[in-house]
Every structure is written in C-alpha cells, then in structure tokens.
Amino acid sequence: GVVITEPALPCMLVGEIALLRKIPRTATVTTVEPLTGWIGDNDAFAQMAHIPGIMPRLLRTVRQRLAAFITPIPVRVRDGSLLLLRPVLPGDRERTVHGHVQFSSETLYRRFMSARIPTPALMHYLAEVDYVDHFVWVMTDGGDPVADARFVRDEHDPTIAEIAFTVADAYQGRGIGTFLIGALSIAARVNGVERFSARMLADNVPMRSIMDRYGAVWQREDIGVITTVIGVPRRRDTVIKKETANEIKRVARQMIEVVS
C-alpha cells in the first residue's frame, strides 16, 4: 500500500476519511516515538466537527491524502519527452528543495518578484493547499517536480482566481507553461472560477506570452509590475487534446468533490 510519512502535530486526526465518507477503511499507523492521543467514535467526531475551523481543516487533509493515491496523467511535451501531471502533494516542498531539478535565482525572482530565497513558511503555504480555494498542478520527471501552476481564489469574488507558474530552467521552452494554463483552466471551470488574474514582473516574457494568447490587456501596478484579468480559457482554445482534457477534468473533480 501507499506509505505516508508526516509529523504528528497537535489536533492531527487519523481515520477522518472513513468518518467523513462513512465507509470502513483499514490503515496501520506507526509512530517513531511515544505519542499521546485519544480514540473516539462517530459521535465524538460529530461533536468535534462543530468546533470552529475544524471542518475546513479536515476537508483539506482528506484531499491532501487522496492526492497521494491519484495516478499521474502522462503528458507528452513539445520536445517529445514524457512528463507526469498530478495534484500537488504536501511532500513536494521537500522534493523541490532537495530534489535533483534546479530552479535558478532568476526563475525564482520572476516567480516571487523578490531576490530573497522563498522562506520555509512560504514553501509550506505553496504545498499545503485545499484544492478548492487554492489548487495546484505539478509536473514531474522521474519523481522530481519540474513545474507547477496554481490558482488562488479571490476572497471577495469566488469567480476570480490569481494564477502563477514556475518551470525549472532546464525544462523551459518545451511548452510546459502553455500546457499548464490549459490544465489549470479545466480545474478552474470544475471549481466555478470564471476569470484568471495575474500579477508579474513586466520582463517576465514567457508568462506574458502565455497570457497574451488569451487576450490579456496589461496594466501597470507599480514600477516593473503589471497585472491583467482574462476569462478562463476553454479547452478548445488550449493545446490539450480532448482525451487528456477529460482525464484532467476527472482528476480535478475527484479532488474538489472528494467528500461532497
């Protein structure tokens, strides 16, 4: 079976998927050091679920664990190489930081608009998502993340989401970003998002070129920073073939509607 390793933090639950979906599940949990915890049944779980903030956390945890069981989707990119597309996993933070694929300071600067190395807190935020208000696709090669694309829903208008992409240096120029905006669009439409916003450095030519294909009109926000809003692209306007698009849609829907 699938082995999941994660730190045992206060308020962490084990077995919540079975309780939420009301189906029996069997799992072996092994701790590497003494641990104190409590055991409860459905009634105890129901009472706990009414505590403010608990249910959203449960749903996020369920989706993150489900993502580990998703079969990645094979994608043939422009140069003929085969990569895999899947939802982001919590462990991708470590895979990105300690993996074999390099993200140069220039690439990180374009993505985060800062010369500073992303902090552990930011890396945690980028990988620990709920797949509803914050959805991320990851492209991998040999298990290492080589690119990601995400949307983060606007707090005031749930039909708008800000998007961002990162592609490792050695993988740029292969059409990965172009493919990822298509995959992101499919997940966004499943999730009720109608428009994408983007904020980036004016000299981020690759990202601007991708957005320009979908009618981006740019506005200057600050010195060297531009913004735009576009309609979420339809599948027929992207490079993704119908068969692959249907598989992407199926996986996205599975993540978003896991316990609905």
Protein fold of 73-256: Aminopeptidase (3.40.630)
- pLDDT, residue 113, reads 45
The predicted model gives 4-28 an average pLDDT of 64
Give the amino acid at 210.
I
Distances (CA, A) of 128 to 98, 108, 122, 147, 225: 17, 19, 10, 16, 27
Task: Specify the higher pLDDT residue, 123 or 23.
Answer: 23
- pLDDT, residue 249, reads 96
Res 182 pLDDT > 90: yes
Tell me how far apart the alpha carbons of residues 97 and 101 are, in angstroms, rounded to a whole number.
9
What are the residues whose beta carbons fall under 8 Å from the beta carbon of 92, sequence distance 6 or more? Answer: 127, 138, 145, 148
Q: What percent of the chain has pLDDT over 70?
A: 67
Domain ranges for the chain, please list them.
Answer: 16-67, 73-256
Task: Specify the higher pLDDT residue, 128 or 154.
Answer: 154
Q: What is the mean pLDDT of the chain?
A: 80
- pLDDT, residue 120, reads 58
- pLDDT, residue 236, reads 92
The predicted model gives 143-154 an average pLDDT of 90
- pLDDT, residue 110, reads 53
The predicted model gives 168-195 an average pLDDT of 94
Token digits for 73?
């989707």
- pLDDT, residue 109, reads 46
What are the residues whose beta carbons fall under 8 Å from the beta carbon of 232, sequence distance 6 or more? Answer: 185, 188, 189, 193, 194, 195, 196
Task: Specify the higher pLDDT residue, 31 or 254.
Answer: 254
Is 25 in contact with 17 (CB distance < 8 Å)? Answer: yes
Res 60 pLDDT > 50: yes
Is 227 in contact with 218 (CB distance < 8 Å)? Answer: yes
The predicted model gives 235-244 an average pLDDT of 94
Give the amino acid at 127.
A
Res 99 pLDDT > 80: no
The predicted model gives 154-175 an average pLDDT of 91
- pLDDT, residue 101, reads 55
Neighbours of 112 (CB within 10 A): 16
- pLDDT, residue 102, reads 56
The predicted model gives 37-60 an average pLDDT of 71
User: pLDDT tens digit string along 71-98?
Assistant: 899 999 999 999 999 998 876 665 555 5
The predicted model gives 99-118 an average pLDDT of 53
